Amino acid sequence: MPSFLRAVDVFGANPNMRYVNYIDIKDSNREFLRSDNWDFKFIIPPAATYYPGDNYISVRLTEVTINTSTEIGDIVAMVRGFQIRQATSQKTNGTATLGFIDKEDQGISLFSDDWRNKIMDPSTRVSFRKEDTTCTSKFTLFNTSRVPVRSIMMFNNQPSNAPITPEKGDSEQDPSGLNTLDLELSFEHYERNFLNL
């Protein structure tokens, strides 16, 4: 009877890449990070503006996109023909885009419009103070059991674009045409936390 070599017999003693096996790859059945279990809250809403309330914001907020820089600043010097680099810093500001759906009460449009007008009134050119038009917000990702797995706290948010739902009329039967708006915020600093490690 012919004898066949088995791969495990030939390569079993090889110490390289021993983690390539089902038990290690399944990684104790840890779940993948998902983008559909999340929450966003204005921890400290802007003091001077109309604010419809946390629950109102939560049920009409359909999408959140946070943008922060991952670029690292550096000092670069040429020393006798060699380029020497020293990593030194990073940016801690960023932007957030909040996608809302609004309804006939127009509460989200009013929130956005009032916030913009408190930064500078269109008729009088009067501005409320920065301390009354900034806010603190928090975005949290959850696993499927709704346990927080990551959060980012954003400080001194102010709108960079504060739209309202469109003002238009036409003969098309388009029930979705006037329902959405994207509120764009800029923040000065953030703190990110990795949770459930």
Please name which of 129, 103, 102, 123 lies closest in space to residue 183, comparing C-alpha atoms: 102
Per-domain residue ranges for the chain? 33-166+176-194
Task: State mean pLDDT over 143-170.
Answer: 90
Q: What are phi and psi of 62, to 5 degrees?
A: -105, -20
When pLDDT is cut at 50, 70 and 90, the band that residue 176 belongs to is low
Lowest mean pLDDT among 92-106, 118-132, 138-152, 175-189: 175-189
Please determine, looking at this structure, whether the domain spanning 33-166+176-194 carries the CATH number 2.60.98: no
Q: Give how far Cα 7 sits from Cα of 2, 12, 17, 19, Å.
A: 16, 7, 14, 16
pLDDT in tens, 84-136: 999 999 999 999 999 999 999 999 999 999 999 999 999 999 999 999 999 99
- pTM for the predicted model, two decimal places: 0.84
Distance, in Å, from the CA atom of 187 to the CA atom of 158, rounded to the nearest integer, reads 7
